[in-house]
């Protein structure tokens, strides 16, 4: 099922609208590494202070002479140790299921293709998504979903469930901390084949041992970049 869906997205790629009013390709965009291989993260517990975390992101961007950071799909990250939200009884969740785009708060985000608003919520635990919007799409009769996390609370007030959105329509904005789940400003963008009955929320980080299952359910969103 996964290869067919990947091919479906690839067939329509030329019609996707950009998420942001600027290109996510080029010298101003840098890949940011949040794994244990990054020496700057040797003490991830320090990142509980979001101001310190924000300064670290700025340092990572400056080192690469970039203004936008991106990456993270299926990255096994250490940064979730900052929040008990990602702890589990048997295995901590550290495998990132979407991509992050690290840009300033207030940056507008557009729907990449026609959609209806599936659900929205303010997931306001420390380290959670904060304001979250989930869109439902359809291509060649196949439904799937996209999630936008770490937004502004005002975005939630401006939408209603079932509302139709055109491709390229701005519908949300990257939120500031602490209202964005208390993270340095960035967009979490994720695809889901099936919502599994969930509403306004969906796991964005999974146990590494379950990589195959979650990769099939949450395909690579880089096709939209």
- What's the confidence (pLDDT) of residue 91? 64
User: What does the pLDDT look like over 103-146, one tens digit per residue?
Assistant: 999 999 999 999 999 999 999 988 899 999 999 999 999 999 99
**Could you tell me the CATH number of the domain that includes residue 200?**
2.70.70.10
- Quick one: pLDDT band at residue 151, thresholds 50, 70, 90? very high
Give the chain's domain count: 1
Within 13 A of 85's CA, how many CA atoms are on the CB side? 18
164 to 42, 45, 60, 144: CA distances (angstroms) = 45, 42, 38, 15
In a domain, 223, yes or no: no
User: What does the pLDDT look like over 174-205, one tens digit per residue?
Assistant: 999 999 999 999 999 999 999 999 999 999 99
Q: Specify which residues 29 forms β-bridges with.
A: 68
Query: What residue numbers bound the domain in which 135 lies?
Result: 2-217
More confident residue, 105 or 36: 105
């Amino acid at each position: 099922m996964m290869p067919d869906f990947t091919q479906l997205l690839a067939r329509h790629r030329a019609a996707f609208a950009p998420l942001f009013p600027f290109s996510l390709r080029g010298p101003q965009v840098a890949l940011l590494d949040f794994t244990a291989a990054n020496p700057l993260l040797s003490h991830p517990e320090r990142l509980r202070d979001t101001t310190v975390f924000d300064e670290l992101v700025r340092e990572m961007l400056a080192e690469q002479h970039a203004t936008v950071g991106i990456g993270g799909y299926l990255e096994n990250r250490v940064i979730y140790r900052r929040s008990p939200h990602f702890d589990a009884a048997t295995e901590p969740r550290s495998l990132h299921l979407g991509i992050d785009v690290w840009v300033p708060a207030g940056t507008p985000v557009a729907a990449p293709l026609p959609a209806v608003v599936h659900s929205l919520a303010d997931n306001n635990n420390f380290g959670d998504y904060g304001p979250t919007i989930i869109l439902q799409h359809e291509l060649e009769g196949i439904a799937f979903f996209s999630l936008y996390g770490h937004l502004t609370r005002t975005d939630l007030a401006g939408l209603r469930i079932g509302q139709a959105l055109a491709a390229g329509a701005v519908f949300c904005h990257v939120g500031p901390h602490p209202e964005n789940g208390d993270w340095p400003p960035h967009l979490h963008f994720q695809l889901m084949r099936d919502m599994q009955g969930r509403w306004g929320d969906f796991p964005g980080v999974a146990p590494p041992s379950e990589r195959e299952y979650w990769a099939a359910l949450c395909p690579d969103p880089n096709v939209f970049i």
